Amino acid sequence: MNTLTASGLGLAGALAGIPLSAIAYSAPAHGHLHLPEGWWHGAPARPPTVAAVSLLTGTTTAVIGGLLPMSATLPAYWLFAVVGVGLAIIDIRRRRLPHVLTGTLMATCLISFIVATAVSGNPAPLLRAIIAGATTTTTLVIIALSLPGQLGLGDVTLAGVITLNLGWLSWHTVAHGLIIGLVLQGVLGFAARARPRGRVALPMGPALLTGWLSAISAYWWLHPGHLT
């Protein structure tokens, strides 16, 4: 692992966690996200909450910085780690995954991957990423329309962006991330139904994002130094 890169990106992630706290904890159940007053110190989230979010984003981005070498694609993975924490919080609190955040991740991935493709001259990873994201999105849209109430469009979009991001690495990584996310969601859903209260609507974002991080970690373990 690159300790210096991990430390720098972890510190940047921890700082990014402060305004991220403000966005996540001011997010309404419906409507647009905005930067509230006092966003520079994380308001309206309380200081202990801001510290916890900052620690989480710092830790996650440090892990990403330690796993990935410096490359044109690194900004996409770093931002994914930061925004992913915010999406998980919003999904847990509000049961929504704002398209403005998932759209930002998609745009960053595409820009970074196009730049990396121009540098390397190899279009295969970019094509694989686009096919993976498009295939996942199309499949889940069909499922969402066929089984109303089972999948939200926010979940569909996030899954598509995650597979787009992981598709840059390999098909195996795409499968790993998606399967881990869906299995984890299934386990949590089963546990929730076993509680006395019965059916409880569970956010899907945290499970999908856990699958994303697990897939990158597994890829690094199998191919250390090959994340480009």
pLDDT, tens digit only, all 228 positions of the chain: 578 889 999 999 999 999 999 999 999 999 999 899 999 999 999 999 999 999 999 999 999 998 888 899 999 999 999 999 999 999 999 999 999 999 999 999 999 999 999 999 999 999 999 999 999 999 999 999 988 877 889 999 999 999 999 999 999 999 999 999 999 999 988 887 777 665 567 899 999 999 999 999 999 888 765 555
**Tally of CB atoms within 10 A around 123:** 13
Judge residue 61's burial from the number of C-beta atoms within 10 Å of its C-beta, 0-12 exposed, 13-18 middle, 19 or more buried.
buried
Pair 211, 180: CB distance under 8 Å: yes
Residues 6+ away with beta carbon under 8 Å from 122: none
pTM for the model stands at 0.93
H/E segment holding residue 138? helix 124-146
Residue of 35, 59, 63, 167 whose CA lies nearest to 113: 167
- The CA distance from 154 to 100, in Å, is 10
Query: Domain extents for the chain?
Result: 3-222
Residues 6+ away with beta carbon under 8 Å from 63: 6, 81, 213, 217
CA 106 to chain centre: 10
